[in-house]
Structure formats: C-alpha cells, structure tokens
Amino acid sequence: MDQVMSRRAQYILEHCNHLTLFSLDPEIVPIAPGGSAKRHAFHGYRLASSLTIRNAVKRREIVAELERGLTANELGAGCFEPHHGVRATFHGQSVDLVICFGCANVEIFTSAGESRATTSKFPQPLLDRLLHHNSNVLTTS
C-alpha cells in the first residue's frame, strides 16, 4: 500500500486508536469564513451521519477492508461524488479518507498534505452496513 499513501498515513490507519466513519452528501457545502456550517462538513462535504468505532477488533476489520480496496489497483473515473468518509487517529495524528466508490477515487488528507488514490468497492458493503444501522444522524440546525 506504500504507493497509494505515505508510510505515516498508513501507520496511523493501521494503528488507530480512534476511528470514525462518515456518511457524506456529495454536494459541496459552501462555508463562509467563521461560518457554523463547518461543524457539519468533512473536507467540504455535508455530513449526513457518523459512527465512532470503539471496538478494536471492528476497527481492524474496517482498516483491513480499506487497505484491501486501496491495493486493488482499480482505474478511477472522474465523477467524484463521495458518500463515505473515514477519520483514523493515532496519538493525536489523523488521516482522513474521502471516498467515492462510484468512480473508485479516494482523497487522502494528513497534516503533511493531500494525495489521491483509487479503491475497489470491497470496503463499501461493510461501511454501508455499519453506517446505515448504527450511525448518529446529524442535523444542520
């Protein structure tokens, strides 16, 4: 997986002690400087719901599926309408993934910057199942 994300991002993902899944609305949220909409957005996309994964075994299962998808060498298309987000944190450092399974593209965000990769659809059923059955629905009020 070294080709698709930095070693540090990979380490954070594999060793995370905090993992949050997000269901995203693929419409970009316009946010004015200091605007309150930012708390309901993940890298510019509106949050529909979220789920914190507290169980270490479940975190490892999710990370394994994400890595399986990232190493599948899929060809990405161009739509980029992400419906999934992931934030993995290890000792205060985070890696964020914004995922569009429709076009197989992933945006990867770390403190060192942003990169892009492709993914297969392998992780989608697990993420969908977890988000749709266990998530906290977010409101924009």
pLDDT tens column, 58-94: 999 999 999 999 988 777 777 899 999 999 999 999 9
Work out how many domains the chain is built from and give that number.
1
Residue 23 lies in a domain: yes
Residue 117 lies in a domain: yes
Residue 122 lies in a domain: yes
Residue 1 lies in a domain: no
The model's pTM is 0.87
14: domain CATH number?
A: 3.30.1490
Tens of pLDDT, residue by residue over 27-65, are: 777 665 655 555 678 998 989 989 999 999 999 999 999
Buried b (16+ CB within 10 A) or exposed e, 67-78: bebbbeebeeee
> Which 3 state secondary structure label does DSSP give 52?
strand
Domain range for residue 51? 7-137
Euclidean distance between CA atoms 4 and 90, whole angstroms:
19
